[in-house]
Each structure stands twice: as structure tokens, then as C-alpha cells.
Amino acid sequence: MFRDIESSNTLVVNEKSKYLESRGKVVYKFGFGESPFHTPSWVVDKLRLNANANSYSSVQGDISLRESVASFHKEFFGTDHHADDIIIGPGSKILMYNLLSVLKACDVLLPVPGWNSYARQANFLEHNVIQIKSSYEDRWRINFDNISLALTKKIHENTVMFLNFPGNPDGLNYSDEELISIAALARKSDITVVSDEIYGLLSFDKKYRTFYEFYPEKTITLTGLSKWCGSGGWRIGACFLPTNSRYKEQLKKNLLAIASQTYACASTPIQIASAEAYKCTARARTFIDKQTVILKEISNFCYTTLVEAGVKLHLPEGAFYLFPDFTNFTERFLKANIFTSTDLCVRILEETNVMLIPGIDFGLPGSYYAARLAYVDFKYEADNSSEFDMNLHAPKIIKGIKDLADWLTKLHG
Ligand SMILES: Cc1ncc(COP(=O)(O)O)c(C=O)c1O
């Protein structure tokens, strides 16, 4: 009677770590990727004042929120989207799902390693998933060569390609040259690009350029409040439509139709508070800057400690993820009966209480020794004036990473 739907492993891992904690274990929760920062107080205050806003909002999203989102993105990224070109929904994940569901069966090209929900959603909606396989040597980036190879496996007329930077699971960005080259190929091959920029504002160098800038006609941008505003549980996502006018109108009509038949609208009080988050750009900028400084400091510590222990890693450039490649340890792992990335994460959890997500969950072969590490096991109010001190505010990061490095060093002999 029921279809076989795989649940998100990252959520399952979070549940598992909660269970271990309930049994008295100190678990270093580097599995679930959620912002470690509190929602800023001025945004929370706005929500408090509007809890009684109990009417449905428009399906497309409250106009004042869409206007704030449009001018915010114009200021941060120089984009020219009008409020009419933006659709607000309860999180970018459901917007992504609805987007995939309004498309006729097509080829969906996905970066590997990449966030597991892309493949799960596309498979569920019976699209043809084609992996774009990258490697450690490629900095886990998609490029002209690996996209071209993926295109040889097409079976449908229409093609959608996902792009995600700073990336989950690797925390890496693309250079302008790389984006230009991807855009040229997308244009030549008439590909619709879904650019998942949910971590864009958490880019450490503040030079983030949205993919829309390079390929406005057929780039659908997904973003939202979850990661930059410490509010994943608030569920606010935004979809920016492309400029190709015929395509845009059809897409918008379909997205609004499916929204009206499913979630109806995002929560009204949350939309009012979110408009506040997007409104005062100076305050938002200070808040974002503080977060990126903290995340960069932590990522540097994790990077240095793990590289010293012999792990292959690229210096992260944004978000809150690292994607350690443990293939230098292959011989040792085989001797220790660790054959897959899942075996590896189970052993690491059992022997160090450090929770990671195995590389197989990001589309890599099970036998490839890699895992995602989300360095978010701390909570901090980034809108206060106190100085962030890793020892004081994020001691579990220091202990967990050192324990992981020690475990690897001992295993290395
Ligand atoms: C790459 C990526 N895209 C999208 C999302 C979904 O974000 P939202 O909270 O807007 O649904 C996540 C959340 O973990 C993510 O990692």
C-alpha cells in the first residue's frame, strides 16, 4: 500500500545522537547541519509582537517580505529580482520539491558529493538522476569535463542541473572563472540551473557571486533564512525566478498552483518577523560578519588539526561543513575491518563519541572513505557584543576534533 520512501539520514543521525545523549553519553554532534547561532533578538521580538497575525498570507508570500528579500539581495549580491519574481515558501527544501514536481520527466544532473535530498526528491518524482562525479583532486567541484561526461547519459529532452556553493558537504566555493565556464556550458546545452545558495551569505571572503549573475535567463535560485539567520526551524525559503520571460511565467504559474494545493502559504507571523530580518541590512551585515568570522576560526582549527593527523582536506570557504577524505588511512582501516564510510562513522562514533555522516550519504561509493563533518556543536548569540572565545563557547568542537585526530593518529601507528 505504501511507497518506499527513504528518510533523510542526517535527521536520523540527529535522532541517534539524541538517544545516545539520553543514555548519558557526551556525543560530539558533528552530524546534523544546523546553524549554531541563535536567531537575533530583534527578529525574535518582531515575532513575539505578531504572534496573533492569524490569517493566511498570499500564496506567493507576503509582499513586504518579498520586497525586503529583493532589496536585501540587491544590496548584498547586486541582483535585480523584483518582488514579483520571488516566491516565499516554508523552507527552500519544499520549494525545491515543488519545483521538481512541476517539471515533466527530465534529466536531473547532480553534483557528487552533494546534499542527499536532491537525489531523493528527484528519484521520488521519477526524474532521471545523473551524477556529476567529482573528486578530491577536483576540489569536489563540478566543471566542464565532468558535466560534459554526465550530459552523455541524458535520456530526456529537458535538463536540470543543481549547483550548490558554499557546498554541503564540503564548505567550498567556486571561482568566477569556474562559474563562467559552467554558465557557458549550461547556455550551450540549454540547461536549467537550480542554484542552491542557502549558504551564500555564510561565505567567508564576502566576495560571493550568485550564479544568476552569470546565467540569468535560466537560473532558478534557492535561498532562505535558515542558515544565515539561525532559524532553520522557522521554515522560510525563497525561490528567485529566471529572466527568460516565457519560461518564467510558466514556471511561476505552476509553482503557485502547486503551492496553493499543498502548503498554501508560509506561516504569517514568521513571514512578518522574517521581513524584519531582511529589512535592516546594516544590522544583518554585522550579524552575518560576526558569524563568518567565528565559523572561519573554527573551520581553520578543524582543518589544521585534521590535516596534521594525515587527513586530506581543502581549506573551507563557507557554510559550516568540512568533507574530510580519509583515503590516506586505507591500509589501516582494512586491517581494522573498516570497509566502508558507514563502518568508519560507526567506529568513530563508538570509539570517540564523534558523530559524522558517511560519504555514501552524499552519493559517493560506499567503499570511499570520506565523511561530512558539521562543526556546529555549540550555541552562541552572535548578535551580542561579547568576544567569541572557542575555549569558552565551543569547547566540544576542540575536544571532539582532537579526539578524532588522536584516534586517527593511533590507528596510523
Ligand atoms: C544544501 C542545502 N540546501 C537546502 C537546505 C534546506 O534548507 P531549508 O531550511 O531552507 O529548507 C539545506 C539544509 O540543510 C541544505 O544543506
Is 113 near ligand 1, meaning CB less than 6 Å away? Answer: no
pLDDT of residue 127: 98
Tell me, using a 6 A CB cutoff, whether residue 98 lines ligand 1. Answer: no
What does the pLDDT look like over 247-280, one tens digit per residue? 899 999 999 999 999 999 999 999 999 999 999 7
Q: What is the pLDDT of residues 359-372, one digit of tens each?
A: 999 999 999 999 99
Give which of 275, 259, 296, 319 is closest to 115, Cα–Cα.
319
Distance (Å, whole) CA 256 – CA 249: 11
Least Cα distance to 221 among 235, 202, 200, 190 occurs for: 200
pLDDT above 60 (res 413): no
Going by pLDDT thresholds of 50, 70 and 90, the confidence category of residue 169 is very high
Residue recorded with cell 537525489: 119
Ligand 1 site, residue 37, Cβ cutoff 6 A:
no
pTM: 0.96
Index of the ligand 1 atom closest to the CA of residue 94: 11
Is any atom of ligand 1 closer than 6 Å to the C-beta of 167? no
241 or 281: which leads in pLDDT = 241
124: its cell numbers: 521520488
Pairing of strands 371-374, 357-358: antiparallel
Examine the pLDDT at 10 and tell me if it is beyond 70: no
Are the C-beta atoms of 369 and 333 separated by less than 8 Å?
A: yes
Residue 291's pLDDT band (cuts 50, 70, 90): very high
pLDDT at 88 over 90: yes
d(CA 266, CA 18): 29
pLDDT for the residue 244: 81
Paired residues of 224 in beta bridges:
237
* Range with lowest mean pLDDT among 163-167, 207-211, 381-385: 381-385
Residue 383 pLDDT level (bands cut at 50, 70, 90): confident
Pocket lining: 232 vs ligand 1, CB cutoff 6 Å: yes
Average pLDDT of span 39-43? 95
Residue 24 has pLDDT above 80, yes or no: yes
pLDDT confidence of 19, banded at 50, 70, 90? confident
Considering only 104-118, 172-186, 315-329, 341-355, which range has the smallest mean pLDDT? 341-355
Å from CA of 163 to ligand 1 middle: 13
Separation of alpha carbons 354 and 346, rounded Å: 9
Q: Would you state the pLDDT for residue 12? A: 61
Report the first-to-last Cα separation within the chain, whole angstroms. 53
Give the pLDDT confidence score for residue 9 in this predicted structure: 59
pLDDT of residue 22: 87
Lowest mean pLDDT among 22-26, 72-76, 146-150: 22-26
Q: For residue 13, is pLDDT > 80?
A: no
Q: Is 110 in the pocket of ligand 1 (CB under 6 A)?
A: no
> Over 60: is that where the pLDDT of 389 sits?
yes
Ligand 1: distance of its center to the CA of 227 in Å?
A: 8
92 lines ligand 1 (CB under 6 A): yes
- With cut-offs at 50, 70 and 90, classify the pLDDT of residue 69: very high
Q: Are 354 and 97 in contact (CB under 8 A)?
A: no
In this predicted structure, the answer to whether residue 227 has a pLDDT above a threshold of 70 is: yes
Q: Report how far ligand 1's centroid is from the alpha carbon of 120 (Å).
A: 14
Q: Is the CB of 33 under 6 A from ligand 1?
A: yes
Considering only CA atoms, which residue is closest to atom 16 of ligand 1? 168
Residue 207 alpha carbon to ligand 1 centre in Å: 21
Report whether pLDDT(84) > 90.
yes
